[in-house]
Amino acid sequence: MSVDAPASAHHLHITATPAALSTIRTFTEGCCHALGLDDEQTFWILLAVEEAITNIIEHAYAGRGGELDIRCWRADDDFYILLHDHGRPFAPETVAPPDLESPLETRSVGGLGLYFMRKLMDEVRFSFDAEGNHLLMVKRHAVG
Amino acid sequence: MSVDAPASAHHLHITATPAALSTIRTFTEGCCHALGLDDEQTFWILLAVEEAITNIIEHAYAGRGGELDIRCWRADDDFYILLHDHGRPFAPETVAPPDLESPLETRSVGGLGLYFMRKLMDEVRFSFDAEGNHLLMVKRHAVG
Amino acid sequence: MSNDSLTIEHQPLKRCDLFRIRGRVDGETAPRLEQALRRVLENGRYKLVLNLAEVTFLSSAGLRVLITIAKECRRFNRGNLYLAAPNQRVQQVLELAGLDELFKTFPTEVEAVGNF
Amino acid sequence: MSNDSLTIEHQPLKRCDLFRIRGRVDGETAPRLEQALRRVLENGRYKLVLNLAEVTFLSSAGLRVLITIAKECRRFNRGNLYLAAPNQRVQQVLELAGLDELFKTFPTEVEAVGNF
Ligand SMILES: Nc1ncnc2c1ncn2[C@@H]1O[C@H](COP(=O)(O)OP(=O)(O)O)[C@@H](O)[C@H]1O
Ligand SMILES: Nc1ncnc2c1ncn2[C@@H]1O[C@H](COP(=O)(O)OP(=O)(O)O)[C@@H](O)[C@H]1O
């Protein structure tokens, strides 16, 4: 992937299962605070990360678990989080955005995860290569 | 009347009107505390006094107002309160006790005032003579 | 007038009318309570919930209002008056008057409202 | 598991079923919420109120449950799912998902319950 985490990035290596979610949350929250983000920013980053990790557990690893690396760092006042897994790749550009206009009766019940990630972060970049799947999310001016 | 208040009794002289109720309340509450009654006792005494005074305002003076004397004192650990007015006398023994058994639909809406006074105090004694109407209420072992 | 004098908050709901009663319900203030409740009956609404959690004093004059209005609500099976969240004092006064069994009473206002 | 994990309090009322949801509604806990709500639907009751005042976190997995259950409640006009007392965070998440207009929401649970 084009963006590499700096050696100084906070790093968590864990098996992606539902049971790991609370550890991931605590790790991410700790990173946010250590990197100077306030509670408001942290809340929204935790939501974006929650959505991304849930997708990796459910879709990339189809519930069977697998290795996951999470790296967080800051560059200037921008916050970076990079997720790396070895599950099934997918084509994000083929995922239709959720229909936010139609009434509840005809709305799809899912499809909000990617939408949330994109709304909450300034950059959401997937890449898939021989080393696995990479997801980089950036929140610009996260500290301030 | 057979029982006279001691000269040392707390005393309030006031015109019996609805507007006087809060002064009477404050006076009675102050007496209770000064004489050593706790909040629990005081609450129930205030309720009995409220009922007695409301009757004097409504029935004895028929809403037209008139003189009222209130005296409170303690003898041993018994609490005494004596009310004195110059309104219409009545025959308490002819007042039927409220019906507490029948369902709401057939119950009288009133008649609870005298009943409360008798339930809350150990003695409720009316007397009517040339000097006016006297009501003595006693709460035994009110202190301690 | 002492500062815990009666305040009445009225919240009209689709199912019923909720009243939050605070302070003293005595000979002096009971007429105001009766008036507030009667105004709702006059609009053809007979399902009332009275939240009594913050009633600090309740005399027979207040009970008279509760009995009168409850009777009117129940007439022709058109409604009822429920009590919600009576504090210990209020509960004791209701018991003294033998009324605790006659009013349908719920520990919380949401249970009272939800059971109409 | 962090100690604000999901707790669900269910209060069946005559008119409707009230749920007080506390803590996190996320990918891990949303199935439990769905199960609790579905149990009520299976008993033929389709009027639900969800008090969200103490929800600390709500992800798309939680919203998926709300949408699914609300749809089932509304079918054949047999009921609805009302939200009560959403805190600011919950409100913001609903807005993010464009759902704030789609759920009928009340500032207090008693208003939600009373408006069924
Ligand atoms: N990490 C992933 N790996 C594989 N497929 C994914 C991944 N993330 C998302 N997808 C696909 O994109 C779709 C939309 O994802 P999302 O917006 O999170 O909604 P949901 O997960 O509720 O379906 C998913 O249904 C899935 O098919
Ligand atoms: N102080 C009084 N002076 C004259 N009549 C009284 C007095 N107190 C009570 N009564 C009479 O006794 C009746 C019962 O009184 P009470 O039990 O207090 O109920 P209520 O005042 O609600 O009628 C009154 O209706 C009134 O006719």
Give the pLDDT confidence of D45-82 residue by residue, as tens digits. 999 999 999 999 999 999 999 999 999 999 999 999 99
Any ligand 1 atom below 6 A from CB of A13: no
Residue A105: the pLDDT is: 84
Average pLDDT over residues C4-27: 95
Whether residue A114 is contained in a domain is answered as yes
Rg (CA), chain B: 15
Mean pLDDT of A86-98: 92
Report percent pLDDT > 70 for chain A. 99
Closest ligand 2 atom to Cα of B85: 1
Other CB atoms within 10 A of residue B95 CB: 12
Contact between D91 and D53 under an 8 Å Cβ cutoff? The reply is: no
For chain C, the average pLDDT equals 94
Using pLDDT thresholds of 50, 70 and 90, give the confidence band for residue D1: very low
- Paired sense of beta strands D17-25 and D7-12, if any: antiparallel
Crossing angle, helix A39-55 and helix D60-74, to 10 degrees? Answer: 70
Distance of CA B133 to the CA centre of its chain: 12
Residue B144: inside a domain: no
Is B31 among the domain residues? yes
Neighbouring chains to A with at least 3 Cβ pairs closer than 8 Å: D
Asked whether residue B37 is domain-assigned, the answer is: yes
Of the candidates D56, D34, D55, the residue with the CA atom closest to the CA atom of residue A46:
D56
SS3 content of chain B, % helix, strand, coil (to 5): 35, 25, 35
Residue D3 has pLDDT above 80, yes or no: no
ipTM of the complex: 0.77
SS3 category, B55 = helix
Rounded-to-integer distance, Cα D105 and Cα D81, Å = 9
Write out residues with Cβ below 6 Å of ligand 2.
Answer: B 51, 55-56, 59-60, 88, 90, 95, 110-115; C 60
Rounded distance from Cα A112 to ligand 1 centre (Å): 9
pLDDT band at B2 (very low <50, low <70, confident <90, very high): low
Distance A113 CA to ligand 1 centre (A): 7
Q: Give the rounded percent of residues in chain A with a pLDDT score beyond 90.
A: 81
Task: Give the CATH number of the domain where residue B106 resides.
Answer: 3.30.565.10
Does the pLDDT of residue B71 top 70, yes or no?
A: yes
Give B87 Cα–ligand 2 centroid separation in angstroms. 13
Domain count within chain B: 1
CATH of C7-114, picked from 3.30.1490.20, 3.10.20.30, 3.30.750.24, 3.40.50.1820, is 3.30.750.24
Q: In the predicted model, what is the mean pLDDT of residues C105-116?
A: 96
A32 within domain boundaries: yes
Residue found under tokens 């007038």? C1
CA distance A19 to A40: 25
Task: Give the confidence band of B100 by pLDDT, cuts at 50, 70, 90.
Answer: confident
- pLDDT attached to residue B3: 72
Distance CA A93, CA A112 (A): 15
pTM for this structure? 0.81
Q: What is the pLDDT of residue D2?
A: 46
Give the CA-trace dihedral at A37, A38, A41, A42, to 10 degrees: 80
Place of tokens 């003898």: B75
Q: Which range marks the domain in which residue A94 is found?
A: 10-139
Strands (E), chain C: 7-12, 17-25, 47-58, 80-84, 104-106
Are the C-beta atoms of C24 and B25 separated by less than 8 Å? no
Q: Which of B120, B117, B95 has the alpha carbon at shortest distance from B108?
A: B95
Which residues of A fall within a CB distance of 8 Å from D28? 18, 21-22
Q: Where does the pLDDT of residue A2 fall: very low under 50, low under 70, confident under 90, or very high at 90 and above? A: low
Q: Could you say which ligand is closest to the alpha carbon of residue A128? A: 1
The answer to whether position A108 is within a domain reads yes
Backbone angle region of B76, left / alpha / beta, with phi > 0 → left and psi within -120 to 50 → alpha? left
| Cα of D72 to nearest chain C Cα, Å | 21
